[in-house]
Amino acid sequence: MTATPSETGPAGRVVVLAGGLSHERDVSLRSGRRLAEAMRSHGIEVEQRDVDAGLLPALAAQPPACVIPVLHGESGEDGAIREVLELLDLPYVGSRPAACRVAFDKPVAKSVVARAGVATPDSVALPHEIFRELGATAVMEALVRRLGLPLMVKPARGGSALGASVVHDAAALPGAMVSAFAYGPVALVERFVTGVEVAVGVLDDGEEPWALPAVGIEPDGGFYDYTARYTAGSTRFSVPAKLDDDVARACAEAAVTAHTALGLRDLSRTDLIIDDAGTVWFLEVNSAPGMTETSTVPLAAQAAGLDLGEVCGRLVRRAIARCAPADPPA
């Protein structure tokens, strides 16, 4: 039986924003379609819109009950679109702009989460210009001396592992730097930790944020790159991840700590790796996690016995309640 809007969501229209012009446009469109379909199955009126010059006039002409930004990459996760939604006084699901900006900048997010007590691999963030000014060879030799091998190289801002690569040999470092700089002006060079990779979604739909079951990630090629993330059958997922109970608890605690320390709300996803000693290492966090058929948050929600459309309905109601005017004093 199809649920009525009063059971799972607002009586008004919900606008899902998907697409945009970032490198992750296709992923965003797939995420948006899936969320829209999940909410419609619960009787929620949903309109999916791209981000273009017609968006703001449309929102002003017919203000929706709530907006769900499902935009990935630059301008989608850096808080910019949420700043505009706040200018329009529109309720929206997700973290506020300032928190998004911090979470989207991987080196800054690592520093914040490390101060909160979660281990994160040693790393260095360097802009493209420093290699030209000081000499690329000398800088890369210093990187290898300081961090050792292997290394993870990735853009400091961005997602879906675009421009990211694992460097096992110093001779491969220049190519990895070029790949990272193709997606942004600053590269994060991080000590690569070998171990079990997991993703932990955090749902903030009640009094306190809580962790969804950890999802174990085993890409066929050994590296969870763009193809492994979004091509069906390229990665084996285990939900919940095959972890000892104490390690699973540590992963959940790390994800909730990251979510809280960064000031995120509603929903996030934290990427972690567990080394052979059982240490949980924080890699990065996503304030607008993917919702495609191969994304980990929907897999975790299903494992927790949650319906994606129902979860979205709850988050929409919370977003609307946040913007409701306070009752006047008696």
Active site residues: 24, 160, 230, 269, 271, 284, 286, 290
Q: How many helices (H) and strands (E) does the chain have?
A: 13, 13
Token readout for 92 is 């929206």
CB count within 10 Å of CB 6 equals: 9
Element (H, E) at 13: none
Token readout for 35 is 């969320």
Query: Helix or strand or coil: residue 253?
Result: helix
Element (H, E) at 250: helix 245-261
Q: Helix crossing, 25-40 with 308-323: angle to 10°?
A: 90
Can you list the alpha helix ranges (DSSP code H) found in 96-172? Answer: 97-104, 106-115, 128-134, 136-147
Phi, psi of 40 (to 5 degrees): -60, -30
Place of tokens 């730097």: 177
Phi, psi of 215 (to 5 degrees): -105, 120
Can you list the alpha helix ranges (DSSP code H) found in the chain? Answer: 5-8, 25-40, 55-61, 80-87, 97-104, 106-115, 128-134, 136-147, 173-181, 226-230, 245-261, 296-303, 308-323
Cα–Cα distance between 252 and 255 in angstroms, integer? 5
Q: How many residues does the chain have?
A: 330
Cβ contact 135:174 at 8 Å: no
Q: Which residues contact 264 (CB under 8 A, 6 or more apart)?
A: 95, 99, 103, 202, 204, 285, 287
